[in-house]
Structure 1
Amino acid sequence: MEQIQIKLFIALVYIFSVIASSTHATDFKYCDKEKGYNVTVNGVEVIPNPVIRGKETSFNISAFTGNPLSEGKVEISVAYFGWHVYGETGDLCASVSCPIPAGNFTISSSELLPILAPPGSYTLQLKVQDDDKNELTCIKFDFSIGFLASGEGLVDT
């Protein structure tokens, strides 16, 4: 009976750790610590974390603005071990419903990472600009791509 309880406890700890690791907040830092950005970031969430190649990944940035925003641009830059590997500029209103009233809002993006993306550490930089090209915020955060791709049963070599 005691062995069953121990096995059950181990299974529950494992399940909890998998769930917790796939939904925990990601640490971020501002690109310029001295700059007083008009949009402040409250948190970053990457789901799943670590990212799985060939599967859709969601990036959710919770933020706050003191002034309403009617339009703007979002610039994303991704580096792999410090080397620029991807960049994209898009309409802010494609990631969040505009106009954005003063207060809290969330920028969400879902990306299907290529199955050939190498596993390892990546850094994503996100800049938000208003329609006059004024930088409203700029953050950086790290994420990792795991060794298994979706549907793979063995570790890549």
Structure 2
Amino acid sequence: MKSALLCVALCVVGASCLSLNKVPADTKWVDLTSEPKDLGDIWTDCSSAGDLMKIDSVTITPDPPTKGAALTINATVDFEKQVTSGSIKVDLKWGFITVVNKELDLCSTAKDAGVSCPINAGSLTFHISEALPSAAPSGHYTGNIKATNQDSNELVCVDIDFHLT
């Protein structure tokens, strides 16, 4: 269940549902204007050209994540259309063992983060910080997060690949 907290933090990035807080001075910004869209050491944008949400920038601190430390994610995304409902499909594996395989309601996740649906078209900058459990097993984690809107159209796709120490 503790690894689900990490997944929820990562889901919120895919859902783009939090408000902006001050960005720490020691974070690094990733330029996403060239292909492939590498979002740092642990994220890759696997969205297709027709997806309805574009990731403009992502900052992850620390990168890579560390057990017992807060994982802070700052991102700016652009929604092409208003989102009134949707879902977030999360798959996360530790090695070959599936630790999370679930579908979350996008608006419930947004509400838990303090944002109400509908999410309007346009730019959205958000911040999330979640403590990673000290008891989380060290090792290689891989996964995928896909968010869809009310019409089942894909908003965004993010692949995750990191080593937790």
Task: Report if aligned partners of 1:70, 1:100 keep a CA contact under 8 Å in 2.
Answer: yes
**Residues in 2 aligned to 1:36 and 1:87: alpha-carbon distance in whole angstroms:** 25
Match of 1:46 in 2: 60
1:123 is aligned to: 142
Q: Does 1:29 align with 2:29?
A: no
Q: C-alpha separation between the residues in 1 aligned to 2:164 and 2:119?
A: 32
Change (3 A) 1:111 1:129: same
Q: Secondary structure at the match of 1:69?
A: coil
Q: Distance in 1 between matches of 2:100 and 2:127?
A: 18
Which structure shows the bigger proportion of residues in strand conformation? 1
Structure of larger gyration radius: 1
Q: Aligned residues: percent identity?
A: 26
Deviations 1:17-69 (A, max 9, x none): xx74xx23443433355x52111112333222232223332334431112122
Q: Which runs of 5+ in 1 are unaligned?
A: 1-18, 147-157
Rate the CA distance shift 1:61–1:52 in 2: closer, same or farther, 3 A.
same
Gaps of 5+ in 2: 1-24, 31-38
Identify the structure with bigger relative contact order (alpha carbons < 8 Å, sequence gap 6+): 2
Count of matched residue pairs: 125
Mapped to 1, the partners of 2:114 and 2:79 lie a distance apart of 13
Please give the root-mean-square deviation of Cα atoms over the aligned residues, in Å.
2.9
Mapped to 2, the partners of 1:82 and 1:31 lie a distance apart of 21
Partner of 2:154: 135
Structure-1-length-normalised TM-score = 0.60
Letter paired with 1:37: D
For the residue of structure 2 that corresponds to 1:53, the secondary structure is coil
C-alpha distance after superposition, 1:92-148 (max 9, x if no partner): 4234623222211145544433322222332342211112332221121333322xx
- 1:81 Cα deviation (Å)? 3.4
